[in-house]
């Protein structure tokens, strides 16, 4: 092939790459509905599905086959490509992607929004990836993406206002503002009180730089980071330059310069193009520090609990002039060959327990950091309950799950991690607080709901007084089927789970429970079985804090008092097998109560009748646990 032909092919290849980047820059996530309304005026209606909208602001049709998306878990490996198969998006077109759990076909979606919905709008359905009403996000990747950072577009949104979609500010392009009826294309749905703008996205917002990269001074060998903050919609493509030459692969909002040396010192800038505008940042200088400086540890390992057979690599990062060297120690003695920035422990046993230290040293000084490593047998932790679809009788409840310690020792859950069915450590939620779970104890994890709200939902009189209820954000559990996976802090691969359960399509208002006799998870909870009861609000059935009936000892709650001729009928919530006493006294200021009768409950509701004296003006009654 001639040199001219090769040059032509190279030019065509570069042109195709540029056109591909520009095409991606035209795509933007423009709307999200994460909590549809349950009302139409004063009437209660069936809630519709979550959905999100993708808009092409460019002048070219884009083939979407091979694209994939995920929610805030930001998990490229587990992202879903199926909704995009065989799909293309025209210039100026908005496509709606709808979770097929409540709204399952195009006719239902059009009936929901009515005549204001564009007649030719594409509506595509997908399974899973439910969007949490407590706050979530969306990530969209092209077929060429190699890492989670290489998103075509990314949006995050907070707690939803029921029946109002999230969209973007038409002036700044910032995503997360709530739709307003008759503003920026928004309208009210026909069949519900929902407000949104499905199929009617406002136009593009030219990109602008709101945070310039700044000069940095670092020690030789350090890692330097330059960042730019932009706004606009679409989000744009990025290209960083060093001394006015483009840096290969430097196409993100930030640029990391590893092992800074004289050859990497100088001026850096970035250009950003979102199709509507191209902007160039200021030039930021990377400068090397030349004066001698003592070591400073900028990343240090921390205390770690490990289980027999696990492996883990500890890392340290130090800066200083000249560049520091490292030495690792165990109980004050040097570890042979451990003189790099990392220390690996493999297939650990109890003898690996001890106080480890890392020393960073240069000609000026030395600095030490220590951490305690404790190696123990693997605990017996089980996920014993999951609620992924609460009753529609209450609109403000939340997904939750329960973790139970069936081992013999207390476990601190700090730095433990959990994820749903994506089973990916990088996207797992990390527990950041010290939370001890004692032997035999169950702890509740509820999405976006306060402990007080959870107790009001299930009824404080039903719950153990010391029941731990912890709130988390994101990682919503799909009512169409999902999973809960648990890892400890020392886990280094996705398969190293401590606990894991998978569940299928939920029954609204009923939890998936645990059978302590068979050791199996996944049975639907039944009132009065394995600690299950009816919640105080909404009528949900579950057993938060319990895995057996014998654990539940709570004060009776009188639910009904009725009077007939000469009789008083009292009904209260009871626990099967528990003994109760009916007591009374004539005056409220009397110190003593008189026990009229005792009974052992045979059902979850107990009713008694007591004759009333015609000569008494008043009498007070109560029901208590029998001694």
140 shares its domain with 252: no
pLDDT category of residue 554 using cuts at 50, 70 and 90: low
pLDDT digits (tens, 9 = 90+) for 139-193: 999 999 998 888 999 999 999 999 999 999 999 999 999 999 999 999 999 999 9
- How far apart, in whole angstroms, are the C-alpha atoms of residue 626 and residue 429? 45
Which of 526, 551, 576 is a domain's end point? 551
Which of 376, 402, 428 is a domain's end point? 376
Range of the domain at 151: 3-203
CATH code for the domain in which residue 599 is found: 2.60.40
With CA atoms as reference, report the closest residue to 290 among 220, 214, 222, 215.
220
Output 95 or 128, whichever has higher pLDDT: 95
**pTM for the whole structure:** 0.63
Taking residues 262-271, what's their average pLDDT? 97
Residue pair 383/401 in contact (Cβ under 8 Å)? The answer is: yes
**Alpha-carbon torsion angle 382, 388, 390, 396, nearest 10:** 100
pLDDT digits (tens, 9 = 90+) for 418-427: 988 878 887 7
Give alpha helix (H) positions in 212-262: none
Report percent pLDDT > 70 for the chain. 95
- What pairs with residue 559 in β-bridges? none
pLDDT digits (tens, 9 = 90+) for 565-579: 788 888 887 777 788
Query: Out of 39-53, 64-78, 81-95, which region has the weakest mean confidence (pLDDT)?
Result: 64-78
Specify the pLDDT at position 25. 59
Distance set, CA 234 to CA 27, 122, 163, 272, 615 (Å): 6, 20, 25, 11, 82
Give alpha helix (H) positions in 404-507: 451-458
CATH code for the domain in which residue 273 is found: 2.60.40.10
Specify the pLDDT at position 21. 41
Taking residues 610-624, what's their average pLDDT? 82
78 shares its domain with 185: yes
pLDDT category of residue 602 using cuts at 50, 70 and 90: confident
544 shares its domain with 561: no
pLDDT digits (tens, 9 = 90+) for 6-29: 333 333 333 333 334 444 558 999
Specify the pLDDT at position 6. 39
226 shares its domain with 257: yes
**How many domains are there within the chain?**
5
369 shares its domain with 450: no
579 shares its domain with 607: yes
Q: Return phi, psi of residue 18, to 5°.
A: -65, -45
Per-residue pLDDT for 302 more than 70?
yes
Specify the pLDDT at position 375. 96
SS (H, E, C) 335-393: CCCCCCCEEEECCCCHHHCEEEEEEEECCCCEEEEEEEEEEECCCCEEEEEEECCCCCC
Placement of tokens 């240069």 in the chain = 362
544 shares its domain with 580: no
Distance set, CA 260 to CA 221, 225, 545, 564 (Å): 5, 10, 54, 89
- How many CB atoms lie under 10 A from the CB of residue 317? 15
Q: Which residues does 298 contact at the CB level (< 8 Å), separation at least 6?
A: 317, 318, 319
Per-residue pLDDT for 555 more than 70?
no
Taking residues 341-364, what's their average pLDDT? 97
pLDDT category of residue 612 using cuts at 50, 70 and 90: confident
Helix (H, G, I), strand (E, B) or coil at 171: coil
pLDDT category of residue 77 using cuts at 50, 70 and 90: confident
Mean pLDDT estimate for the chain: 91
41 shares its domain with 188: yes
pLDDT category of residue 396 using cuts at 50, 70 and 90: confident
Taking residues 435-455, what's their average pLDDT? 95
- How many CB atoms lie under 10 A from the CB of residue 476? 26
Specify the pLDDT at position 3. 43
Per-residue pLDDT for 347 more than 90?
yes
539 shares its domain with 561: no
446 shares its domain with 506: yes
Specify the pLDDT at position 578. 81
Per-residue pLDDT for 503 more than 90?
yes
Specify the pLDDT at position 130. 81
Which of 203, 224, 247 is a domain's end point? 203
- How many CB atoms lie under 10 A from the CB of residue 276? 19
Q: Which residues does 59 contact at the CB level (< 8 Å), separation at least 6?
A: 26, 91
Per-residue pLDDT for 507 more than 80?
yes
567 shares its domain with 533: no
Residue pair 471/448 in contact (Cβ under 8 Å)? The answer is: yes
453 shares its domain with 566: no
Output 134 or 379, whichever has higher pLDDT: 379
Distance set, CA 427 to CA 130, 417, 435 (Å): 16, 9, 21
Residue pair 539/572 in contact (Cβ under 8 Å)? The answer is: no
Per-residue pLDDT for 213 more than 50?
yes
Specify the pLDDT at position 617. 77
CATH code for the domain in which residue 14 is found: 2.60.40.1260
Residue pair 521/382 in contact (Cβ under 8 Å)? The answer is: yes
């Amino acid at each position: 092939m001639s040199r001219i032909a090769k040059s032509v092919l190279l030019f065509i290849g570069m042109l195709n790459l540029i056109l591909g980047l520009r095409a991606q820059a035209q795509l933007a996530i423009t709307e999200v509905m994460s909590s549809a309304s349950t009302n139409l005026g004063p009437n209660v209606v069936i809630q519709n599905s979550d959905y999100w909208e993708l808009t092409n602001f460019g002048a070219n049709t884009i083939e979407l086959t091979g694209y994939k998306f995920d929610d805030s878990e930001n998990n490229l490996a587990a992202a879903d490509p199926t909704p995009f198969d065989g799909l293309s998006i025209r210039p100026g077109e908005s496509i709606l992607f709808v979770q097929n759990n409540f709204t399952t076909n195009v006719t239902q979606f059009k009936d929901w929004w009515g005549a204001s919905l564009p007649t030719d709008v594409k509506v595509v359905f997908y399974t899973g990836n439910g969007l949490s009403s407590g706050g979530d996000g969306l990530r969209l990747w092209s077929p060429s993406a190699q890492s989670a950072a290489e998103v075509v577009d990314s949006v995050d949104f907070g707690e939803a206002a029921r029946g109002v979609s999230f969209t973007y500010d038409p002036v700044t392009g910032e995503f997360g503002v709530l739709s307003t009826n008759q503003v920026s294309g928004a309208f009210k749905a026909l069949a519900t009180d929902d407000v949104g703008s499905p199929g009617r996205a406002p136009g593009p917002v030219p990109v602008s730089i709101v945070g310039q990269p700044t000069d940095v001074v670092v020690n030789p060998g350090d890692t330097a980071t330059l960042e730019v903050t932009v706004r606009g919609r679409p989000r744009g493509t990025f290209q960083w330059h060093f001394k006015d030459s483009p840096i290969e692969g430097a196409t993100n909002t930030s640029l990391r310069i590893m092992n800074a040396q004289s050859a990497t010192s100088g001026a850096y800038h970035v250009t950003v193009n979102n199709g509507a505008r191209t902007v160039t940042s200021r030039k930021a200088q990377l400068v090397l520090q030349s004066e001698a400086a003592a070591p400073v540890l900028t990343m240090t390992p921390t205390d770690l609990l490990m289980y027999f057979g696990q492996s883990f690599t500890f890392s340290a990062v130090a800066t200083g002039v000249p560049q520091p060297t490292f030495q690792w120690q165990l109980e004050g003695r040097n570890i042979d060959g451990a003189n790099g920035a990392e220390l690996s422990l493999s297939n650990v046993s109890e003898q690996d327990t001890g106080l480890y230290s890392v020393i960073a040293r240069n000609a000026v000084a030395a600095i030490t950091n220590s951490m305690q490593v404790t190696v123990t047998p693997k605990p017996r932790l089980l996920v014993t309950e999951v609620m992924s679809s609460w009753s529609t009788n209450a609109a403000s409840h939340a997904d939750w799950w329960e973790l139970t310690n069936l081992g013999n020792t207390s476990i601190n859950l700090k730095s433990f991690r959990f994820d749903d069915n994506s089973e990916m450590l990088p996207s797992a939620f990390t527990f950041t607080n010290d939370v001890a779970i004692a032997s035999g104890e169950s702890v509740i994890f509820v999405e976006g709901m306060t402990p007080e709200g959870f107790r009001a939902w299930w009824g404080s009189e039903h719950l153990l007084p010391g029941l731990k209820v912890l709130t988390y954000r994101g990682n919503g559990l799909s009512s169409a089927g999902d999973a809960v996976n648990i890892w400890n802090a020392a886990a280094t691969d996705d398969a190293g789970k401590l606990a894991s359960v998978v569940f299928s399509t939920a029954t609204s208002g009923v939890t998936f429970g645990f059978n302590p006799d068979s050791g199996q998870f996944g049975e639907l909870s039944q009132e009065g079985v394995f600690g299950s009861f009816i919640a105080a609000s909404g009528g949900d059935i579950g057993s938060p804090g319990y895995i057996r009936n014998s654990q539940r000892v709570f004060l009776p709650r009188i639910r009904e008092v009725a009077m007939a001729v000469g009789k008083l009928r009292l009904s209260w919530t009871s626990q099967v097998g528990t003994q109760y006493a009916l007591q009374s006294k004539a005056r409220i200021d009397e110190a003593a109560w008189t026990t009229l009768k005792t009974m052992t409950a045979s059902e979850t509701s107990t009713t008694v009748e007591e004759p009333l004296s015609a000569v008494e003006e008043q009498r007070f009654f109560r029901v208590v646990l029998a001694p």
